[in-house]
Structure 1
């Protein structure tokens, strides 16, 4: 958390992730500080290098959420019509389906719109 604000961390070295973060900043009125993990003190936020390598992170007073759970919390925080989307995303069975989809996108983010070769994960992480 940065002060009293929640924090949403993404991979700032990935063009696809940065494009998604830009969309969030332009269109989703969250209270969170949307930051690349490369520019923060991970220890101070209570997250590990492994966590941020694997997925986006939401950090607030209630704790840490990762991947689609983090996105669900961000959407709920935004309120308005975003809140119901976050509730649906965070509820079973949608949540159970969201994780495999998130992992697939994460492993293939270099192929997503705005993605570049620099977004590719190491081959060992792409099975």
Structure 2
């Protein structure tokens, strides 16, 4: 499988900004609360993550969304966050109930936070690195 092939037989891949404090904290949260290992993660700064962003028309140098790649499709913005929440262990998967809020209301809030993520939460001086136990789920 090439980095951007989106193999439909594989687990979904969350592509995130490893320089963003909020995004890195979210990656750590997913790894901790996805004990079934439903998700794999790739940073946009790495080869796999950057290739997946480009495959779905997102500039890896200036993304304003994380994506969840599942097969040949990518969820973005609030839909990606909801898909992540739905795949987590209980009780966190209950957060997916926010799907009841229409996308036209959810996405502007998501995009505002994404655009201002460094100012609101900070930027790491180096990319986030997983622990030895988490490394097998990082692409």
Distance 1:8 1:43 in 2: 10
- Tell me how large the CA RMSD over aligned residues is: 2.9
Provide closer, same or farther for how the CA distance between residues 45 and 83 of structure 1 changes in structure 2, counting only shifts above 3 A.
farther
- How many residue pairs get aligned? The number is 115
Bigger relative contact order, structure 1 or 2 (CA pairs below 8 A, ≥6 apart)? 2
User: What are the residue-to-residue correspondences of 1:32-111 with 2, within 5 Å?
Assistant: 32-39=39-46, 40=48, 42-43=51-52, 46-50=55-59, 53-61=63-71, 63-86=73-96, 88-93=97-102, 95-111=103-119
Distance 2:32 2:124 in 1: 25
User: Does structure 1 conserve the Cα–Cα contact (< 8 Å) formed by 2:12 and 2:38?
Assistant: yes
TM-score, with length taken from structure 2: 0.65
Structure 2 unaligned blocks of 5 or more: 1-5, 126-139
Distance 2:24 2:55 in 1: 22
Structure 1 unaligned blocks of 5 or more: 119-127
Q: Which protein is richer in helix relative to its size?
A: 1
TM-score, with length taken from structure 1: 0.70
